[in-house]
Structure 1
Amino acid sequence: MAIHDEIHIFAGQHIIVTMAFSTSLVVGAILLALRQFFRPIGLRHPKAKLPPGPKGLFLFGSLLRFRQKDNPQYMHKLLNEIASYGDMTTVHLGSKTWIFLNSKRMVSEIIAKRSSITNGRSPMPISSGIVSRDGRSLILPPSGWTERRRLMHHLLSGTALKQYGEWQELESTQMLAEYLKQPSRWYRHHYRYANSVVHRIALGERLAKSSKELEDLQNVVTFFVGSIGSSIIDWFPELAKLPKFMQIWRKHWEALGDWNERVYRSWWDPVKSQVDDGTAPPSFVRDVLLHKDTKYKGSERDAMYLAMQLIEAGSDTTREALNIFIMALLTYPECIAKARAEIDSVCGANAERLPTLADMDNLGYICAMVKEVLRWRPIFPLTPDHTALQDFEFEGYYFPAGVGFIINGIPVANECEEPEKFKPERWLDGYEKDVAHGLWQFGGGRRICVGYRLAQRGLFLNIARLLYCFNFTAKGPLDSTVLNHHMTDEPFPVGVEIRSKRHERLIVEEATKVDVLTFAEQAM
């Protein structure tokens, strides 16, 4: 081969190598820049010292492991695996850093005792911003949450709980009549009850909505919850700062946000009109949210989102908890005998009267059963993160501001003897009437669910009454680890029968007395 041919070959190879090397440098520089730009927030502070945890993948961390967040069995396994690192586990998810709190002690120390500095929320540009119009206080930072929280504290006053209790008892009586008239639709009665109570509390009138309207509102909740963490943008919130023409994801989520707001408007506008013209009945909207003495600082849209999120939160979680209660009875029938013995001793074994909220002091086992329902099968294995508002140290660790703390609901709930068993007795410790004592299903600290007492009272009332009046049997195979409590159709096969003719007469008499029997017969 001629020397000049060898030179040409060498030159060509040199160019290829140079180009490959240059390309590698550019790609490497880009990857390095991406890594620095999207570096998990917990690793950005030079003094950061975090608990151990899985290493994860480049850029994504452990994010891909949470892709099956709607699969309960998968999530239970994953959350228990995360807890294997110790009382706290560091998990990097995109550019976010979450510290999973795997024991009651850690939850108490970080979420409760340090709530003044751990009550933030990490940015969620999709689920909180676009889908929710920055209107759902559940996932808002303190700057958008404090004013809404101030108003929602009215729900906890003794006067409010007394008034709401009367409505809960009335709607519960209708639910018993619905069970009597349409036992095969037991799961639908749970939703109708829960939605009716919170609808009356928030908007002032008994529920008179079509099946389509109820379905739409239920879908609003489903789609909103489904949006949380579904978009990569919520895990890399820095991307939301790109120019809007580059945010190709916006169209889809804005359409969902528009639909969400239209559903809200269909419920809100009639009530707002009544408040404006002075014909509105007593309600949270009329007497607190839009009352001149309240001096609410938010916009009219903010007020709508605040009112409607009360309905969302109060209706869906209650129906799911009641579904879990039914599964517990089917799986652990021995609990029925203990519960009924207690109720019969208070209300009479011959169906003398229905249990009421005034019986809570005398029905400790039923109160304990409420807490066990919430512990046994947590509705929310994970709740929104409690983000640190400032740097702080704890037990040798240094947590930078912006790090999120997560209550790891499964291992925390299972921190007891024989956790898989449904045992209300474990809560008979003198605090059975305090649903938040030793139980973290409502969150904790300054961001504990405002309506937890209302929820406890509603669950107590309906659990006591259903146990007192009805028998439940399984009508097919059951698996309490796959109970599908969130489904709007029948989650598992159940047979319902009235306990006796005396109990049937009692329900009819009480439903007639409060004028809900006709509604029960017509309920869809």
Structure 2
Amino acid sequence: MATRITETLEKLDVTPSTAAAAAAVALAIPLVYLTRSQCRQSLPPGPKGLPLLGNYLDFPSPQDNPWVTFDKWSRQYDSDVIHLNIFGTNVIVVNSHKAATALLERKSALYSERPRMTMINELINLNWHFGFMPHNDTWRIHRKIFAQHFNPSVVSGSKNHETSIKWNNVYLNNLLESPEELFTHVQHMVAGYALETTFGLQVQPSGKPDPFIGAAKQAVEALCSAALYGSYLVDYLPSLKNLPFTQARKDAAKWKVSTDIAVTVPFDLANALSKGNDVDNSSMVAQLLESGTFSEDDIRKVTTAAFANGSAATVSALLTFFLAMILYPDVQKQAQAELDKVVQGRLPEFSDERSLPYISALVKEVLRWNPAVPLAFPHQLTQDDVYESYQLPSGAVVIPNAWAILQDSNLYGPNTSAFDPSRFLKSDGTLDKSVKDPDAAWGFGRRVCPGKHFAESTLFLAIARTLYTFQINVFKDAQGREIKPTGEYTSGLIRYPKPFKCSIKPRSKEHREMIVSLVES
């Protein structure tokens, strides 16, 4: 028992000077196991917990890839939903497409709420992001604003395509000039495109410090580290937020500065510019301010969320694409063969998508193979529910395991750990509509990411044009030895491939000249 207590104190994010206070708070928790109305047998199966602590010691840390552990437990207990109890909080993890559809889609009215997210909303003050808002009128307004500007018809419009191509051209030229700065160029393209679309602002050239990209990266860092529910104990024990000197308080203070800048500076500048003459008023901010339909506060928060979203998952997906091309050269070869057949003497365009089924399948496989958000944002059940023979208690935190769903061999065939776009194709090379789209990568129910069409169009154009113009190979050192990427990812709500080196060169002199001409024109 003494060892267990020591282990628990080591896991608590409090300093020794506040350990006694934290212990007092913990001891004040009601004896939930004695008062819980649901008997343990009626809940979904899961690891047996300890009194008071519940499954706190069982819960994997973000560094331990919890989505993998949850999937393992699902197999161990032969159930596609599992249950944990952490300091009295019921946690239901959904590990299959079947369960996600039955609960989060068909009963979305019961599962559209967010749990209290103390770290992200109350300490870091990211409560302006509608992704973390309660399911209330403010959320509906913000969702409506976002949907108006990122629905499929707007994303496929000529103005949006023009801006996307502009930033893609900048990206291709940057990649040509300094391929070793791959990570920087991907971030620059995605952030630049998102910033111009939402605020009508321009970022600094790639490689130069940019305040907008810096603020967005810090906000995304906060999302990655703190928005994975339970990463900080304060999510389960909100009263701990008042304790001084905790790691949660220290981290929140660091991130809060950048997130406050992100929600203030770009909008204020865009607002000021929109009132001047000879200004392009096609940005999201300009259009919303001109309409006068919504308050400035609502516009500020929604557009900031749009910019932050545009700087996160899409960057992860594009870096995953480069990783896959290095590890699976045959896929790259097949994709380039399709491009060479369809596109001749010019760069791929959005209009080529229907003629490029293998590229479309490759985009789907990027989203499936290593999803940027392996555990979707947490939901909260608002009233008691039933799944098969299991009772799901009201107030439970529901965590969809997108990674487990996207790795399901019943949906995507054998060897799901391999990168294989052909799993989405028929034998004749056309897209197989019977194979489930990797929609789990974008969330579930009423909380599905409304920016998915924007992100998918960005991915298609970037992947098609990169493969048409460049050859991506394993990096070789001065002695000619190949240095393959480890394939490791960062941890957190949004994850990225860890930095890796690769060789990126134009496929031919003609392809090089094609890229150079983009800047000259």
Normalised by the shorter chain, which TM-score bucket? 0.7 to 0.9
Whether contact under 8 Å (2:487, 2:498) holds in the other structure is no
Task: Give 1:26's aligned residue.
Answer: none
1:506 is aligned to 514
Cα 1:457–1:212 change in 2 (3 A) is: closer
For 1:31 and 1:108, how far apart are their aligned partners in 2?
36
Q: Tell me whether 1:385 sits opposite 2:378 in the alignment.
A: yes
Residue equivalent to 2:457: 457
Task: Compute the RMSD of aligned alpha carbons.
Answer: 3.1
Contact 1:435 1:453 in 2 (8 A): no
Opposite residue 231 of structure 1, the aligned amino acid is: Y
Instruction: Select 1:324's aligned residue among 320, 325, 329.
Output: 320
Partner of 1:232: 233
Pair 1:223-2:222 in alignment: yes
Counterpart Cα distance in 2 of 1:307 and 1:448: 18
Q: Which of 365, 369, 374 pairs up with 2:362?
A: 369
CA distance in 1, matches of 2:240, 2:338: 58
Tell me the secondary structure at the aligned position of residue 393 of structure 1. strand
Do residues 357 (structure 1) and 350 (structure 2) align? yes
Code of the residue aligned with 2:220 in structure 1: it is: V
1:440 is matched with 440
Deviation at 1:499, TM superposition (A): 0.2
Q: Structure 2 matches for 1:89-100, cutoff 5 A?
A: 89-100=82-93
Cα deviation 1:383-434 (Å, max 9, x = unaligned): 1112122222232222222112222133212112101111101112676799
Shift, 1:35, TM fit: 3.5
Gapped runs of 5+ residues in structure 2? 1-23, 476-481
Contact 1:484 1:492 in 2 (8 A): no
1:176: Cα distance to partner? Answer: 0.9
By how many angstroms is 1:256 displaced? 3.6
Distance 1:427 1:195 in 2: 30
Q: In structure 2, do the counterparts of structure 1 residues 82 and 353 end up closer, same or farther at CA, with 3 Å as the change threshold?
A: same
Distance 2:497 2:391 in 1: 47
Residue 48 and residue 312 in structure 1: after superposition, are their counterparts in 2 closer, same or farther (change >3 A)? farther
1:118–1:386: 8 Å Cα contact kept in structure 2? yes
CA contact (8 A) 1:118 1:387 kept: yes
Task: Give the whole-Å Cα distance in 2 for the aligned partners of 1:139 and 1:345.
Answer: 45
Query: In 2, are the aligned partners of 1:199 and 1:205 still within 8 Å (CA)?
Result: yes
Find the counterpart in structure 2 of residue 273 from structure 1: 272
- Compare 322-331 and 95-104 and name the one that shifted more: 95-104
Q: CA deviation at 1:168?
A: 1.0
Instruction: Give the counterpart letter for 2:108 in structure 1.
Output: S
1:122–1:404 CA contact under 8 A, matched in 2: yes
1:80 alignment counterpart:
71
Q: Distance in 2 between matches of 1:487 and 1:101?
A: 20
Compared with structure 1, are the counterparts of its residues 437 and 113 closer, same or farther at alpha carbon in structure 2 (3 Å cutoff)?
A: farther
Mark the CA change 1:59 to 1:449 in structure 2 (over 3 Å): closer, same or farther: same
Cα shift at 1:160: 4.4
One-letter identity of the residue aligned with 1:459:
L
1:287-315 Cα shifts (integer Å, max 9, x gaps): 13x3444334xx62x43232122111112
Distance 1:479 1:186, change over 3 A: closer
Tell whether 2:493 aligns with 1:492: no
Count of residues paired in the alignment? 470
> How far is 1:325 from its partner?
0.7
Cα deviation per residue 1:184-211 (whole Å; 9 max; x = unaligned)?
1122111111001111111013323751
**3-state SS in 1 of match to 2:53:** coil
TM-score (norm 2): 0.82
Which residue does 1:471 correspond to in 2? 471
Percent identical residues: 24
Q: Are the structure 2 counterparts of residues 259 and 480 from structure 1 closer, same or farther at C-alpha, using a change threshold of 3 Å?
A: closer
Q: Is the 8 A contact 1:389 1:402 kept in 2?
A: yes
2:205 paired with 1:206: no
Which structure has the larger Rg over C-alpha atoms? 1
- SS of 2:310's equivalent in the other structure is helix
Give the equivalent residue in structure 2 for 1:520.
Answer: none
Residue 415 (structure 1) aligned with residue 414 (structure 2): no
- Counterpart check, 1:345 vs 2:338: no
The answer to whether residue 421 in structure 2 is matched with residue 424 in structure 1 is yes
The answer on whether the counterparts of 1:392 and 1:399 sit within 8 Å (CA) in structure 2 is yes
2:221 aligned partner, one-letter code? T
Counterpart CA distance in 1 for 2:323 and 2:113 is 36
Q: Following TM superposition, by how much is the alpha carbon of 1:254 offset from its aligned partner in structure 2, in angstroms?
A: 4.9
- Please say if residues 96 and 236 of structure 1, whose CA atoms lie closer than 8 Å, have aligned partners that are also in contact: no
Q: CA deviation at 1:39?
A: 6.3
Separation in structure 2 between the aligned mates of residue 56 and residue 420 of structure 1, nearest angstrom: 31
Paired letter, 1:234: D
Return closer, same or farther for 1:69/1:225 CA change in 2, 3 Å cut-off: same
| Alignment-derived partner of residue 181 in structure 1 | 177
2:156 corresponds in structure 1 to 161
Give the Cα–Cα distance (whole angstroms) in 1 for the partners of residues 86 and 357 of structure 2: 42
Given that 1:187 and 1:490 are in contact with CA atoms closer than 8 Å, whether structure 2 keeps it comes out as no
- Report the CA distance shift for 1:460/1:434 in structure 2 as closer, same or farther (over 3 A): farther
**Aligned partner letter, 1:147:** I
Q: Does 1:148 align with 2:145?
A: no
Distance 1:436 1:60, change over 3 A: farther
Cα distance in 2 between the residues matched to 1:387 and 1:431: 36
Q: What SS does the corresponding residue of 2:519 show, helix, strand or coil? A: helix
Deviation at 1:132, TM superposition (A): 2.5
Q: Which runs of 5+ in 1 are unaligned?
A: 1-28, 514-524
What is the distance in 2 between the residues matched to 1:158 and 1:239?
A: 46
Query: How is 1:15-26 mapped onto 2 (pairs within 5 angstroms)?
Result: none
Q: Counterparts of 1:142 and 1:419 in 2: how far apart (Å)?
A: 35
Amino acid at match of 1:211: P
CA contact (8 A) 1:80 1:411 kept: yes
User: CA 1:119–1:492 in structure 2 vs 1: closer, same or farther (change >3 Å)?
Assistant: same
